[in-house]
Amino acid sequence: MNSITIARPDDWHVHLRDDDMLEQVVEFTARQFARAIVMPNLKPPVINIERAIAYRDRILAACPEQYDFTPLMTAYLTDTTDPAELERGFAAGVLTAVKLYPANATTNSAAGVSSVDAVRGCLEVMQRIGMPLLVHGEVVDPAIDIFDREAVFLERVLAPMIADFPALKVVLEHITTADSVDFIMASTTPLAATITAHHLQVNRNHMLVGGIRPHYYCLPIVKRASHQQALRDAATGGDTRFFLGTDTAPHPITGKHSACGCAGVFTAPCALESYVQVFDEENALDKFEAFASFNGPAFYGLPVNTGTLTLTRTPTKVGGDLGEGDAAIRPYRMGETLPWSVA
């Protein structure tokens, strides 16, 4: 197969940032995805309806007019979130989902949740109204090795939480381990997972052998090759509970090339090209459309997009840095030639 046409895909996990960076990055998402679940970890975070509406307006104002792009907004869960605010936002169509960051687990998560106990009232309401909970699934216990933080989260936090809220829709975001794949597949509750392109393509050897590559550094951190292969098997295996979420997360190069570098990979400029390459390598191009365009909407209870997108086996070179000076940001696989392009 030298070309594949799919229903227009969506990205179920993006960081569009704000201000100048929003202006720089939004078109890379909007030109290939019809909808995107927009993460709320701004400074200050998007914690209520008012901020979600204002942020959605800024995104739409920054988005070039030729794109038909719908940002789906999320609320940043805190220990003091009012459940009634979530219910109102969901009913009004402003809030599509709620994001749970364990406090201090990742970029801009300091205002996150201290424990599931602190947000029981919110989870009860969300379970009742069918509002999805999106989870950054890592423990923050300093005694737990960074490579084990996702697996430990499954047993310490996720398993008890879904036992208490068995009808709550939960998306375990950006999974990185065979443990998570197995957990999802064994689950009998409405639990799904997003998988990024970079976790399908990169393992910790790529990041650390022969020099440290800060543009592969993200959270949860990339794991060993056997975990990477488990993710590739999950994405291409046809189980509808796995779907596309890039976690495109731009940071200025100055923040990445630093003695204490930021976590996040800016994948939007070559996201679909990277995903389709993985499906091709796994001889699973026939499974690509469901992963990119059907499974996410089905989980969220939204319609599949109208219109199509075509990818062809035509080499394409990933462009260079965006912007200049301190504000420049570097695309994932910058300067590399990829085997597939968006037609």
- The residues carrying an active-site annotation are 247
* Beta carbon of residue 105, minimum distance to ligand NCD (angstroms, whole number): 7
**23 Cβ neighbours under 8 A, 6+ residues apart:** 62
How far, in Å, CA of 234 to CA of 142, rounded?
30
* Interacting residue with ligand NCD among 32, 48, 106, 293 (CB under 6 A): 106
- 106 or 293: whose CB is closer to Zn ion? 106
The contact mask relative to ligand NCD for 70-89 (x = CB under 6 A, - = no) is --------------------
What is the H or E stretch that residue 274 is in? helix 271-281
Q: Which does 218 bind (CB under 5 to 8 A by kind): Zn ion, ligand NCD, none?
A: ligand NCD
How far, in Å, CA of 115 to CA of 117, rounded?
5
Structure tokens at 169: 């829709």
How far, in Å, CA of 316 to CA of 55, rounded?
33
* Beta carbon of residue 101, minimum distance to Zn ion (angstroms, whole number): 7
Stretch that binds Zn ion, among 26-34, 100-108, 163-171, 201-209 (CB under 5 A): 100-108
* Interacting residue with ligand NCD among 249, 271, 311, 322 (CB under 6 A): 249
Phi, psi of 257 (to 5 degrees): -90, 80
Stretch that binds Zn ion, among 73-81, 103-111, 225-233, 300-308 (CB under 5 A): 103-111
Q: How many CB atoms lie within 10 A of CB 155?
A: 12
How far, in Å, CA of 111 to CA of 102, rounded?
9
* Interacting residue with ligand NCD among 29, 107, 194, 274 (CB under 6 A): 107
Is 136 a binder of Zn ion (CB under 5 A)? yes
How far, in Å, CA of 216 to CA of 302, rounded?
32
Q: Which residue is nearest to ligand NCD (CB)?
A: 264
* Interacting residue with ligand NCD among 60, 140, 152, 263 (CB under 6 A): 263
Residue 8 CA to its chain's centroid (Å):
18
Q: Is 117 annotated as a binding residue?
A: no
* Beta carbon of residue 155, minimum distance to ligand NCD (angstroms, whole number): 20
* Interacting residue with ligand NCD among 10, 11, 150, 247 (CB under 6 A): 247
Is 136 a binder of ligand NCD (CB under 6 A)? yes
* Beta carbon of residue 201, minimum distance to ligand NCD (angstroms, whole number): 15
The contact mask relative to ligand NCD for 34-73 (x = CB under 6 A, - = no) is -------x--------------------------------
The contact mask relative to ligand NCD for 198-227 (x = CB under 6 A, - = no) is --------------------xx--------
Q: Is 136 annotated as a binding residue?
A: yes
Q: What strands lie across the sheet with 35-38, from one edge to the other? A: 11-14, 35-38, 70-76, 95-100, 133-135, 170-172, 191-195, 242-244
Q: Which does 107 bind (CB under 5 to 8 A by kind): ligand NCD, Zn ion, none?
A: ligand NCD
DSSP track, 54-123:
HHHHHHHHHS-TT---EEEEEEE--TT--HHHHHHHHHTTSEEEEEE-BTTSSTT-TTSBS-GGGGHHHH
* Interacting residue with Zn ion among 32, 81, 106, 236 (CB under 5 A): 106
Helix, strand, coil % in the chain, rounded to nearest 5:
40, 15, 45
Q: Do 306 and 318 touch, CB atoms closer than 8 A?
A: no
Q: Do 229 and 222 touch, CB atoms closer than 8 A?
A: no
Nearest residue to 107 (alpha-carbon basis) of 40, 175, 13: 40
Contacting positions for Zn ion (CB under 5 A) = 106, 136, 247
Contacting positions for ligand NCD (CB under 6 A) = 15, 41, 106-107, 136, 218-219, 247, 249, 263-264
Point out the annotated binding site for substrate: 15-17, 41, 136, 219, 251, 263
